[in-house]
């Protein structure tokens, strides 16, 4: 797989912790040995993503290539790349030792996992399981709710993925077609998605 952040966007990663390969002067993100492993390509935007006048934040990703080794059709078990937002800058992340082993463990983050689940970590620090990768995550460290990807969706090279975080909702489209549309339920006592934080937001 390879993802491009159209425009002036640049990616940054921590080589000791990620299988990410950054090429094209930082504008394209690819996974090392993409046919051998389906995950482990952790990176973030070097600069903040676009903020709209209504306070929402938007990230555009161009899918440049898709590995044939993994299913890309949702109906056959295919998944999206995990995508999220954080108010931590690359400098903040570097001071905390780099990105964690799982994206949803990033501090001050809202993350959509490949299966459509939505995760929120409100604490500013990175969560870590330490040496026990199967250790149970304590309550409150990472909030997680189920989401559902649109049936029939297939990731293809050339698609433009757009991720929009608005107050109370998170939406992903592919070439304008909805892939995921998650909204906070008014019946719940607290909001998961809530509102994008003020100031710069990174993806």
- Tens-digit pLDDT profile for the chain (203 aa)? 555 556 557 888 887 767 777 878 778 877 777 666 666 778 889 889 888 888 899 999 888 888 777 778 888 888 888 899 999 999 999 999 999 888 899 999 999 998 999 999 999 999 887 767 677 888 889 999 988 899 999 999 899 999 999 999 999 999 999 999 999 877 655 677 888 888 889 99
CA distance 130 to 111: 21
Residue with tokens 């990174």, as numbered in its chain: 202
d(CA 30, CA 7) in angstroms, rounded, equals: 17
CB 98 within 8 A of CB 69: no
DSSP state of 118: E
Tokens 């998605």: give the residue.
193
């Amino acid at each position: 797989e390879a993802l491009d952040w159209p425009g002036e966007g640049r990616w940054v990663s921590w080589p000791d912790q990620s299988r990410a390969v950054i090429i094209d002067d930082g504008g394209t993100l690819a996974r090392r040995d993409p046919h051998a492993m389906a995950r482990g390509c952790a990176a973030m935007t070097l600069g903040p993503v676009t903020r709209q006048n209504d306070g929402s934040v938007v990230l555009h990703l161009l899918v440049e290539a898709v590995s044939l080794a993994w299913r890309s059709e949702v109906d056959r078990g295919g998944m999206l790349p995990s995508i999220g937002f954080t108010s931590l800058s690359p400098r903040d992340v570097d001071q905390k030792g780099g990105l964690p082993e799982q994206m949803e463990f990033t501090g001050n983050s809202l993350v959509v996992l490949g299966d459509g689940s939505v995760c929120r970590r409100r604490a500013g620090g990175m969560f870590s399981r330490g040496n026990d990768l199967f250790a149970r995550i304590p309550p409150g460290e990472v909030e997680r709710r189920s989401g559902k990807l649109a049936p029939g969706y297939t990731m293809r090279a050339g698609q433009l993925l757009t991720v929009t975080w608005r107050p109370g909702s998170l939406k992903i489209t592919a070439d304008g077609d909805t892939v995921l549309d998650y909204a906070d339920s008014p019946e719940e006592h607290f909001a998961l998605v809530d509102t994008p934080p003020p100031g710069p937001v990174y993806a």
